[in-house]
Chain A
Amino acid sequence: MAAWWWGRRRHRWNQRLVLLLFLAPWLVSFVTFTLYPIAHSFYLSFTKYSPIRGGEPQFVGLANYERILNDPRFWQALKNTVIFVVGTIPVTTTIAVTLAVFLNERIKLRTFFRATYFLPVVTSIVVIATIWTYIYSPLGVLNAFLNLLGLEGRNWLLDVTFALPAIMVMDIWASFGYYTILFLAGLQSIPEELYEAASLDGANAVQRFFRITLPLLRPTLVFALVINTIRSFQIFTEVYVMTQGGPIGATTTLVYYLYNMGFQKFRMGYASALAYVLVLIILVFALVQMRLLRYGERVSDGMG
């Protein structure tokens, strides 16, 4: 009896050990590179900490957060980021939905178009930003093209008014392909019979789009909007490569400002507070979006 009991106990211990072994890679990685950093930067956000001067973190309470609220450069960065998000996402989404609807028809060369639109998605942002810096340069292709039309060119990335829109245009170019493919996959899951039934009922193409396509595409659409919002709020690499946040802060985004504070000025306490403000802003935007677009709502409700 005792031997049986011990055997069972040993077996259970073995089972737990095996389980732990299989989970170990995630446990170690999660604790070291996610959980600990998140907790540590939360603590740092209440401190004054500049490691290059050899100091230790000094607890300062809410001082960093208070300073953020009164920091004009933070507000400018927030404004630039919101302009970026609000200016790019509707355009990207409209282009992507249109192209997806087109590609969903019986067309030749669909594979070619799909692959072509996807090319920028697999290319590093640094490469894309480098090419576009060249396109936008004073003696670059864009100005040559404008001259051809008899228009005056300019130094796009050094222009306070045009630098941010120039980066936004590039971002739309670089990202619409991903969303096109996403929407195309969503469209392909809509049964063909629905369209045929609607046609028989005398619905025209526009009615079919607004009554069938759009409601049934909504889950994909909401998903795309939310992930694009989360991504766009973190825009950084483009700015780093093309403008370094300039001219005079015209392209400084939230993450660029965070990088500038944390890793160029080594004000790591302040930068940590900025990081938490960033998370808060993204969280609020994503939640509001999901609420407004009624993410959880069933597709059938939308068709009523």
Chain B
Amino acid sequence: MVRPKGPLVRLRRALLYVVLSAIALTTLFPFALMILTSLRTGGAIITTLDQLIPREITFQNYVDVWRDDRFDLYFRNTVLITAAAIVGNTIFDAMVAYALSRKAFRGRQLILIVILISMMIPIHVQLIPIFILMNKLKLYDTLWALILPELVQGFGIFLMKQYFDGLPRELDEAALIDGASDWQIFWRVLMPLARPALAVLAINTALSSWNAFILPLILTASPETRTLSLGLALYQTQYGIDYVHSMAAASISSLPLLALFLVFQRHIIAGLTKGAVK
């Protein structure tokens, strides 16, 4: 079908680009502001808009928060927790998904429903007992308190089950005839084939674990166990006015993930909206 290209159509398209670009600029502006402010010397007081672009730039603010405000520690902790969560979820979620996809047993449907429901329940109902439990286990204010609850996630189980369901069963049967055990089928046959799904799961886990806030807030007390999100929140509520430094701290907290996003943009968008649209 040939569409007529009159002046009205062109005007409409021009308008469309104006709206899309205006919103893109609105989205980018706070990020630009964060980076520009983090590079400023002196204060961050802005009375006229031409002051937005710093005259001279410095990385001193980054050095200050990294060294003096212990964002080096927070960074290390966040990397550790995120790495543990990625390893945990890619192995454990996949194991559970293997059982749900390949084994017929009573209660299978029930487990799927229970997982789905537990994904919808607000975490806030569980906070107080988890706090009490971690205290009893002497894990309060340790990284374990932040790692253990994150090792298995319903989202990952569903994602992996869906992927395993799509892999032909003939693969398992062939391996079974060759004398492979379940563990070998899972580990040597299905897992290597599930790499695309594992990548989506790893990226999702990285995002949620890196940005987690409520568990670190209630389960840690000392700087030695603090994460970037918590460290930044406490810094912001404590030294609110010192924006050049809090913007440097915000950059340290967000730039690694933003870089990851720019590289894996397509996969991340696909992964985060997966399952929502049939």
Contacts and interface: CB of A to CB of B under 8 A. Distances in A.
Contacts of A103: 20
B130 A37 contact: yes
Given A22-B98, A134-B246, A113 B20 contact: yes
Contact of A121 (B122, B253, B272): B272
Given A185-B276, A230-B120, A105 B229 contact: no
A283 B246 CA distance: 38
B213 A124 contact: yes
Interface stretch (A58-66, A74-82, A85-93, A273-281): A273-281
Contacts of B273: 178, 181-182, 185
Interface stretch (A2-10, A25-33, A207-215, A290-298): A25-33
B157 interface: yes
B132 interface: yes
Contacts of B218: 259, 263
A117 B45 contact: no
B92 A144 contact: no
B103 to A, nearest CB: 5
A291 B76 CA distance: 47
Contact of A126 (B28, B253, B262): B253
B48 A130 contact: no
Contacts of A141: 33, 46, 49, 52
B58 interface: no
A258 B250 CA distance: 27
Interface in A95-150: 95, 98-99, 102-103, 105, 107, 111-135, 137, 139-141, 144-145, 147-148
B99 interface: yes
Contact of B214 (A99, A177, A237): A237
Which of A40, A177, A227 has the most chain B CB within a 10 Å cutoff? A40
A26 B92 contact: yes
A272 interface: yes
B198 to A, nearest CB: 15
23 contacts: A18-B182, A22-B99, A22-B103, A22-B182, A23-B96, A40-B132, A41-B129, A103-B20, A107-B20, A112-B24, A118-B269, A123-B31, A123-B258, A134-B37, A141-B33, A144-B46, A173-B26, A223-B277, A263-B218, A271-B128, A272-B128, A275-B125, A275-B128
B265 to A, nearest CB: 5
A283 B58 CA distance: 51
A124 B127 contact: no
Given A22-B99, A122-B207, A126-B229, A37 B236 contact: no
A271 to B, nearest CB: 6
A19 B100 CA distance: 9
Given A18-B182, A34-B121, A131-B34, 8 more contacts: A37-B133, A114-B269, A125-B211, A127-B229, A134-B247, A182-B277, A278-B122, A282-B122
Interface in B6-41: 16-17, 19-20, 23-24, 26-28, 30-31, 33-34, 37
A131 B27 contact: no
Contact of B237 (A196, A241, A275): A241
A221 B43 CA distance: 45
A127 B121 contact: no
Contact of A220 (B122, B246, B276): B276
Interface of A: 18-19, 22-26, 28-30, 32-34, 36-38, 40-41, 44, 51, 95, 98-99, 102-103, 105, 107, 111-135, 137, 139-141, 144-145, 147-148, 173, 177-178, 181-182, 185-186, 189, 196, 199, 219-220, 223-224, 227, 230, 233-234, 236-237, 240-241, 244, 255, 258-259, 262-263, 268, 271-272, 275-276, 278-279, 282
Interface in B46-74: 46-49, 51-52
Given A117-B23, A130-B236, A41 B257 contact: no
B59 to A, nearest CB: 19
A119 B128 contact: no
B121 A279 contact: yes
A130 B96 contact: no
Interface residues of B, number: 95
B126 A33 contact: yes
B5 interface: no
A25 B236 contact: no
A54 to B, nearest CB: 13
B258 A145 contact: no
A145 B268 CA distance: 35
Contacts of B52: 141
A240 B241 CA distance: 16
A292 to B, nearest CB: 19
Contact of A173 (B27, B49, B103, B265): B27
A189 B278 CA distance: 9
